[in-house]
Structures are given as structure tokens and as C-alpha cells.
Amino acid sequence: MTSLGGIHRNCLVAAMHYSLVAYLGPHHMLVKANDPTLAPRMLGASREELDLWLALVEREGDVEGLADGE
């Protein structure tokens, strides 16, 4: 049987996963959301690590679809 803490952790991981999908989609980086370790890693990251990751997505993402060859 799963402990209550485990259930809460699973809910947090699921919520983080869907938040990451929502964030990565407009940046044309949804493939990154397929990494099963991403949501747990982001939950365990420090504020500084999260800020760096968000800046990386903004810098490296393809918001305007330019990588599509247009």
C-alpha cells in the first residue's frame, strides 16, 4: 500500500509534469517533457537551478518556429 506521503509526492510530480508541458510547448521543446526524470528533478531543484533552467529554455527554445525552415 502506498503511504500518504508517496501519494502526495506522486501528485506533485504529475502537477509539475503538466506544468512543464504547458511551459515547454510554446517554446517548441515538448520533447524535453518526455524525460521521466525531469519533473522530479525540477521538484528537487533549488530556486537558482530553476531560474537557470527557465533562462535556458527561453534562450534555446524556438518560440517563433524558426527551426522549421521558414
pLDDT for 64 equals: 58
How large is the average pLDDT for residues 40-54?
93
Are 19 and 25 in contact by the 8 Å Cβ rule? The answer is no
How large is the average pLDDT for residues 6-31?
91
pTM over 0.95: no
Buried residues in 25-42 as b, exposed as e (16+ CB within 10 A): eeeebeeebeeeebbeeb
Number of neighbours of residue 20 by Cβ within 10 angstroms? 20
pLDDT for 1 equals: 46
